[in-house]
Structure 1
Amino acid sequence: MSPAKPQSPSFKGNKSCLPSKPCAVCGRDMSWRKAWANNWEQVKYCSEACRKRAKPGAA
């Protein structure tokens, strides 16, 4: 087993400090995810279902 990765001294595991924004379709708050790190500004939908429900011309 490999040793644990050292955490940043400023991050204490408190995910409430991460940015969030509302889904464009349902309004549910979306929390920042590491997978969205490179394109957080372009993320509009909380799920694939909301993306499919979005009007074609609204994106």
Structure 2
Amino acid sequence: MAARTFKGNKAALPSKPCAGCGRAMSWRKKWRASWDAVQHCSERCGRQNGKTA
């Protein structure tokens, strides 16, 4: 799992664009179980751009 091999280099973490604003969002520990389902960088961005779930 990526969380166990993380040594402080954030560039090595996976990233993908936000579906709402297009900004690059990097992997977070709280998203480890649902990274494939994460579409928005924040709850606020999801509310403003409409949830597509």
For Structure 1 versus Structure 2, the TM-score category normalised by the shorter chain is: 0.7 to 0.9
TM-score (normalizing by structure 2)? 0.78
Alpha-carbon distance change, 11 to 48 in structure 1, aligned in 2, over 3 angstroms: closer
CA distance in 1, matches of 2:41, 2:49: 11
Q: Of the two structures, which has the highest relative contact order with CA contacts closer than 8 Å and spacing of 6 or more?
A: 2
- Aligned counterparts of 1:41 and 1:12: Cα–Cα separation in 2: 23
The number of equivalent residue pairs is 49
Aligned-partner Cα distance in 1 for 2:24–2:16: 5
Segments of 4+ in structure 1 off by > 2 A? none
Q: In the alignment, which of 36, 39, 45 is matched to residue 40 of structure 2?
A: 45
Higher helix proportion (structure 1 or 2): 2
Assess, with a 3 A threshold, how the Cα gap between structure 1 residues 36 and 17 changes in structure 2: closer, same or farther: same
TM-score by length of 1: 0.71
Q: Tell me how large the CA RMSD over aligned residues is.
A: 1.7
Higher alpha-carbon Rg: 1
